[in-house]
Amino acid sequence: MTDTSEKIDYSKTLNLPQTEFPMRAGLPKKEPEIVARWQEMDLYRLLREDAAGREKFVLHDGPPYANGNIHIGHALNKVLKDIITRSFQMRGYDSNYVPAGRLPRPSDR
């Protein structure tokens, strides 16, 4: 029988990858830094300029909750539409999704 009073360092028994990534993402701290960096770069304008002249993909979006009280299906609908338009943007189309219910800014056009 072994002596259980000794603590065994199990981390030495595992083949763990060596990485520079922190153990926790720390999104609440990092997200404002990332957004500030995007604003400093004026990333949205750069993306819109890059898409100018490409074939357009337009996904028409209705009012957010014209058929009753808001529910989780409405959120799913917006997420799916966002995924679709982003995938078309990545495939080379000029696709700028502006969810219905939000007034477009001049920069959205």
Quick one: 59 and 35 in the same domain? no
The model's confidence at residue 105, banded by pLDDT at 50, 70 and 90, is low
Domain hosting residue 94, numbered range = 55-101
Quick one: 90 and 59 in the same domain? yes
The CA-atom distances, in angstroms, between 14 and each of 9, 10, 17, 31 are 10, 7, 9, 32
Q: Is residue 5 assigned to a domain?
A: no
Given this model, what pLDDT does residue 1 score?
54
Tell me the average pLDDT of the chain.
85
Count up the domains in the chain and report the number.
Answer: 2
Quick one: 48 and 84 in the same domain? no
pLDDT digits (tens, 9 = 90+) for 69-87: 888 888 898 899 999 999 9
| Mean pLDDT in residue range 21-37 | 92
Q: How far apart are CA 105 and CA 82, in angstroms?
A: 18
| Mean pLDDT in residue range 16-24 | 84
Beta bridge partners of residue 94, listed in sequence order: 56
Q: Is residue 31 assigned to a domain?
A: yes
Given this model, what pLDDT does residue 91 score?
95
| Mean pLDDT in residue range 25-35 | 93
